[in-house]
Amino acid sequence: MNIIYVLIPLSVILMVLALAFFFWAVRNDQFDDLDTPALDILDEDDSAPGKKNAPPRHGEHGDDES
Amino acid sequence: MTTKHPNGCWHCGEDIPAGVDIRATIAGSERAMCCHGCQTVAQLIDSAGLQRYYEFRDALPERPELADASGSDYAAWDRDAILEHYARPDCDGFHRLTLVLENVHCAACAWLIHRYVGALDGVAEIRVDVTDGRAHLTWNPHQVALSEIAARLAALGYRPHLDAPDAGQARNQVERRQMLKYIVVAGLGMMQVMSYALAKYIGAWQDIDPQSERFFLVISMIVAVPVCLYSGQLFYKSAWRALKHKRMSMDIPVASAMLLALFSSVIITVLDAGQVYFDSVVMFIFFLLLGRYAVLVARQNAGQLHSALARSLPVQARRLTDEGSELVTLVELEAGDRVQIGAGETLPADGVIEAGNAMIDESLLSGESTPRRRVDGDQVLAGTLVRDGHLTVRVENLGQSTVLSGIVRLLDQARSFKPRMAQMADRVASYFIVFVLTGATVAGIAWWQIDPTSALPVVISVLVVSCPCALALGTPVALAAASRGFARLGVLISTPDTLEKLPNITHVVFDKTGTLTRPDMTIGEVRLEHDAASRDQACRIAGRLERISRHPVATAFARHDDGHAVGDAQAVTAEGVAGTIDGTEYRLGKPAFAAEWVDGELTEPGDGQWIALVSRKALIAWFRIDSPLREGAHELVEGLRRNGLNLLLASGDRADNVARIAGELGIENSHGDMSPADKLELVRGLQRDGARVAMVGDGINDAPVLAGADISLALAEGADIARTQADLVVTGRGLQRVSAAFALAPRVRRIVRQNLAWAFGYNICALPLAAMGFVPPWAAAIGMSASSLLVVLNGQRLGRRPSREEGRGKKGEGENTIPSTIPPLTSPRSP
């Protein structure tokens, strides 16, 4: 049973990581539009126009000020 | 999910008028179109290889206007001031900008825009938010001009407006994101803490060793404390604010229950004695947050487009300088500048007329429908429309100091105003809170006497189980969902109280003009009087001639105008038009006007309104001009009568005309030749006899009458939506939406009542049980959450998408069989 002393703190650490990732996603507009991406899958064309010359997106260029 | 209109225009779904034969080839097959506007847009979509739009869409677009597709309208959008004022620089020369688009209906619109505009070089991203019609654009101004992007959007029929940086918008986003974070933290935390709690409960049966049990306790605390402190912030802060202002709020018992349970559990854990409630607290917070999030999103979505359109002033103006005139953007204008404004343009700022005179439509500001003549020295206001004439205006007030912005601020205030039903629920809830707090104290003191160890769990249980959130959530959730449901039907609600009054309505008064009939006229019949001309030729000549006319009759011919040059064009007021096409002189107009060119009198060949097309030599053709009933007028009248409503028709039109339309629709009670004052008197008279009157008008012409009625409904399209003063605004074409609104309203009231009844019943039963100690805190948290969730889910039923009629569109496409008049969006709701 001693393994739980490792596994459970590990689960807490994983949860913290998941939350950190989620916060990052929220900050980078991932949750602002929940309607249109559903249609992207219907696109047979692989070269989505948005991709070809998108500026590099880093966390620090996102909506951090908000 | 395909939305097609088998017997109407392939693009917009409207019926194809008699005599129109316009076709476009979409994905290899020929499709019928109703006008050149639709044809242009459809061909544009096809040539860009985006025909799949027609498969994706689940709402029909508005009929596009032909004249919109030129890039020059947006020339001023390329000025640096626009970049500075509206856009935010991103990295590598890219800029970000938000546009408000008209006519965005469904996710397919967003897809179409994404594909068509996103395909431009230099556009990194364009993301359209379907809920509020905003497009978020990231582009490089050096590679592609903003005016070109705007022209592309306009060409698709989505006319763009620049969105002034709006603090409210940013605040909404911050609020929504913050809430999302709270919820996810609480949700993940809840899963963790519950699993530890479960381990502990199972362990209790299987002889868990005390060391492991203690470990689970400590780890629960380590997870629960930060989660509760972070996710519960909203409640603690709000309760603190309420306490500071000495108000009662629902958050006071909520926050005290949370903090009491949390800190007692921490103390118990540290002392290692008794029961802990970490799982209950986290669960409590999570479910409460879910309810709050639903309310927040609903509140934010309601009427966002509304305020955006109301804000839209022209972005450009022609400024007079010493050398001449230059096109500048609104943000470059300063007080004291002189600007030129022509017919059909909107005034960019408040000011004084220096030269010229014009008919100005001030309906946006005053609700006064008849344009007024304004001359030198008169004051003119931003947002008013110049109907005809030219003006030079000296600018006095701009931006935030204009009368218009004041009105928009008022509108926004009106929107944040709580509906009466919700206010009442709040008031009841606040009495209830006092009751709960007293109850908890009394129970606590009583149990302290009986059994000190049970006092704490009982107090927590009482506070949690009787949390009046179901009571306070029930009404706003239902109303928010209802306004979403109404929005799906194409009905915007501008006064929240309307939902409460709508089911009580007994009389519906229609204003004929533009309500039951279409705003544009159509050619009802063509009679050729000359062998040389075909029907199509005659229509085309008439279309070219009517191009310069501003008379409503001209709208009937607009779709036949092919842009061919017309010489010596002139419009004779109230008579007709004349012009020369390919060397032949023509006249088109009233029989008397046309008869001047041909020998003898011309008599109208039948009933109705006829105009004649003549050349110098002979009569060519007669056109009968109809103002046709709107699609669904019959169904509306039928539907309302089935609901037991009394219908009246009151119009300023000629009495015989009004009687004819009333007869056609089967409305017995009709009044013609009514002035607005007469209409108001009619409404007042009905009200004196105890009737509750709903007035259906176009929202601009009959503002005073609309205001006099118990409820006003207006039919409006495009930018007019913002100009209406009505309680309910029905957008787009379909009149059935009005009857759908009447059908939905009683359901709203029923669901609100169900919610309130449930919340009351539950709290009244649960409180004594908890006070007597029968409900442990975890059960209290589950009970409370289940009750709130039930209320939220029940309320959500109102926002569901109306089910579509099955089998539509499976009929042979393009076959002109029975004309179908019901567009899919307005099909009856499933019970």
Per-residue model confidence (pLDDT) at position A57: 42
Provide the number of CB pairs (under 8 Å) joining chain A to chain B.
Answer: 93
Mean per-residue pLDDT, B719-728: 60
Per-residue model confidence (pLDDT) at position A66: 36
Which stretch, A30-39, B97-106, B230-239, B530-539, has highest mean pLDDT? B230-239
pLDDT band at B409 (very low <50, low <70, confident <90, very high): low
Residue B634's contacts (CB-CB under 8 Å, 6 or more residues apart) are B665
Report chain B's mean pLDDT, rounded to a whole number: 75
pLDDT band at B182 (very low <50, low <70, confident <90, very high): very high
Query: Whole-angstrom Cα distance, residue B315 to residue B152?
Result: 17
- From chain A, the residues in CB contact with B278 under 8 A are none
Chain-centroid distance of CA B626 in Å reads 31
List the one residue out of B243, B751, B236, B759 whose CA is nearest residue B467.
B759
Cross-chain residue pair A38–B107, CB shorter than 8 Å: yes
Per-residue model confidence (pLDDT) at position B302: 53
Cross-chain residue pair A9–B219, CB shorter than 8 Å: yes
Per-residue model confidence (pLDDT) at position A1: 67
Q: Is B188 on the interface with A (CB under 8 A)?
A: yes
More confident call, B272 vs B241: B241
Contact B460, B260 (CB under 8 A): yes
Which stretch, B108-122, B438-452, B766-780, has highest mean pLDDT? B438-452
Q: Is B83 helix (H, G, I), strand (E, B) or coil?
A: helix
Question: Which regions of B590-727 does DSSP assign to beta strands (E)?
Answer: 609-615, 619-626, 646-650, 669-671, 693-697, 711-716
Mean per-residue pLDDT, B517-521: 69
Tokens of B173: 């986003």
> Does the annotation mark B511 as catalytic?
yes
pLDDT band at B797 (very low <50, low <70, confident <90, very high): confident
pLDDT band at B575 (very low <50, low <70, confident <90, very high): confident
More confident call, A50 vs B238: B238
Query: Whole-angstrom Cα distance, residue B161 to residue B766?
Result: 54
Element (H, E) at B359: strand B358-361
Task: Report in angstroms the alpha-carbon separations of B411 from A41, B272, B406, B495, B630.
Answer: 40, 58, 9, 10, 30
Q: For chain B, what is the radius of gyration of the CA atoms?
A: 32
Q: Which alpha helices (H) appear in B489-595, and where do they start and end?
A: 498-501, 535-545, 554-557, 591-595
Contact B479, B422 (CB under 8 A): yes
Given a cut of 80, whether residue B827 has pLDDT beyond it is no
Residues of chain A with pLDDT under 70: 1, 33, 35-36, 39-66
The tens digit of pLDDT for each residue in B22-33 reads: 777 777 777 877
Among A residues 41-60, those touching chain B with beta carbons less than 8 Å apart: 42, 48-50, 53-56, 58
Per-residue model confidence (pLDDT) at position A13: 93
* Pairing state between β B619-626 and B385-389: unpaired
Per-residue model confidence (pLDDT) at position B2: 43
Q: Which alpha helices (H) appear in B232-357, and where do they start and end?
A: 233-244, 251-271, 278-301, 304-311
Which stretch, B50-59, B322-331, B615-624, has highest mean pLDDT? B615-624
Mean per-residue pLDDT, B308-324: 68
Percent of chain B surpassing pLDDT 90: 3
Cross-chain residue pair A12–B223, CB shorter than 8 Å: yes
Cross-chain residue pair A26–B170, CB shorter than 8 Å: no
Per-residue model confidence (pLDDT) at position B105: 67
* Axis-axis angle for helices B777-796, B452-465 (nearest 10): 0
More confident call, B173 vs B394: B394
Contact B787, B451 (CB under 8 A): no
Which of B166, B169, B194, B215 should we substitute to test contact with A (largest number of A Cβ atoms within 10 Å)? Answer: B215
Tokens of B704: 């005073």
Per-residue model confidence (pLDDT) at position B406: 63
Least confident of B274-283, B573-582, B731-740: B731-740
Cross-chain residue pair B90–A55, CB shorter than 8 Å: yes
Which of B117, B152, B179, B181 should we substitute to test contact with A (largest number of A Cβ atoms within 10 Å)? Answer: B181
- From chain B, the residues in CB contact with A36 under 8 A are 107, 110-111, 114, 127-128, 130
Mean per-residue pLDDT, B703-719: 69
Task: Report in angstroms the alpha-carbon separations of B717 from B294, B364, B383.
Answer: 29, 14, 17
Per-residue model confidence (pLDDT) at position B537: 82
Amino acid identity at B243: L
Task: Report in angstroms the alpha-carbon separations of A62 from A26, A66, B132, B683.
Answer: 10, 9, 22, 56
Least confident of B406-415, B588-597, B642-651, B744-753: B406-415
Of A1, A12, A66, the CB nearest to B173: A66
The tens digit of pLDDT for each residue in B36-91 reads: 777 777 877 787 777 777 777 766 666 665 544 455 567 777 877 777 777 778 77
Per-residue model confidence (pLDDT) at position B242: 83
Given a cut of 50, whether residue B241 has pLDDT beyond it is yes
Q: What is the ipTM of this complex?
A: 0.70
DSSP notation for B372-419: EEE-TT-EE-TT-EEEEE-EEEEEEE-GGGSHHHHHHHHHHHHHHSPP
Per-residue model confidence (pLDDT) at position B509: 87
Per-residue model confidence (pLDDT) at position B185: 94
Given a cut of 90, whether residue B791 has pLDDT beyond it is no
Query: Whole-angstrom Cα distance, residue B274 to residue B265?
Result: 9
Residue B537's contacts (CB-CB under 8 Å, 6 or more residues apart) are none
List the one residue out of B709, B655, B701 whose CA is nearest residue B685.
B709
More confident call, B434 vs B294: B434
Given a cut of 80, whether residue B702 has pLDDT beyond it is no
Per-residue model confidence (pLDDT) at position A18: 94
Task: Report in angstroms the alpha-carbon separations of B3 from B49, B286, B458, B664, B761.
Answer: 19, 39, 58, 30, 45
Mean per-residue pLDDT, B189-213: 82
Per-residue model confidence (pLDDT) at position B540: 83
Given a cut of 60, whether residue B4 has pLDDT beyond it is no
Which stretch, B61-75, B293-307, B460-474, has highest mean pLDDT? B460-474
Amino acid identity at B739: S
Nearest Cα of chain A lies from the Cα of B121 at a distance, in angstroms, of: 8
pLDDT band at B703 (very low <50, low <70, confident <90, very high): low
Percent of chain B surpassing pLDDT 70: 76
Residue B415's contacts (CB-CB under 8 Å, 6 or more residues apart) are B302, B303, B306, B307, B494
